[in-house]
Amino acid sequence: MYIIEVCSGVRKEAIIKTVEPSDFALLTKKQYSFNWKSLKKSTTIYKLTIEGEKDILGVMALIDYPEEKRIEIKLLASSLENQGRKKKYERIAGCMIAFACDLAGKKYHEEACVSLVPKTTLLNHYKQKYYMAWNGRQLFLEYASLNKLLNEYFP
């Protein structure tokens, strides 16, 4: 899995791991648009970093619904410098969504589903860029679209 440095086009190897207790001091509302500590008890929180570096570039909270064979992306954020048109790196959100798809696929196989409730302004972006379908309340990925995203971000 890789992200791309926008100014140079250089690929950087990205890794996603579970957030450690010491990471919460870095996950400020200013830098990541949310109080991530508030999700510690109800979700599993993951961070995206560049291999060998400590800076957290993206963060994602997941909830597993085994009875539905679905993993919900409760919250997803790129760091402040990786948002918008002047971002430093591309592919952060895509890598994180693909990671959720990989987890769901390993656990639920061909019945796996990944979903999220989008901000209204991002609805079409998620549909176009990440192949998500809309079901009226949530966007979701399942079998074909889930595998398409995995193939793009986990080559």
CB contact at 8 A, 75 and 101 = no
Among residues 121, 68, 110, 73, the alpha carbon closest in space to that of 93 is found at 73
| Alpha-helical runs (H) found in 10-91 | 29-32
pLDDT tens for the chain, 155 residues: list them.
999 999 999 999 999 999 999 999 999 999 998 999 999 999 999 999 999 999 999 999 999 999 999 999 999 999 999 998 899 999 999 999 999 999 999 999 999 999 999 877 888 889 999 999 998 889 999 999 999 999 999 87
The position carrying tokens 């949310």 is 34
pLDDT of residue 146: 94
111-132: b or e for each residue (b if 16 or more CB lie within 10 Å)?
ebbbbbebeeeeeeebeeebbb
- What is the distance between the alpha carbons of residues 34 and 31, in angstroms, rounded to a whole number? 8
**CATH entry 1.10.510.10 includes domain 2-153:** no
CB contact at 8 A, 132 and 145 = yes
The position carrying tokens 């402040």 is 80
CB contact at 8 A, 5 and 88 = yes
∠ CA 18-21-27, nearest 5°, is 80
Looking at the DSSP bridge assignments, the partners of residue 139 are: 116, 134
pLDDT of residue 122: 83
pTM for this entry: 0.95
pLDDT of residue 65: 97
What residue segments make up the domains of the chain, in order of their start? Answer: 2-153
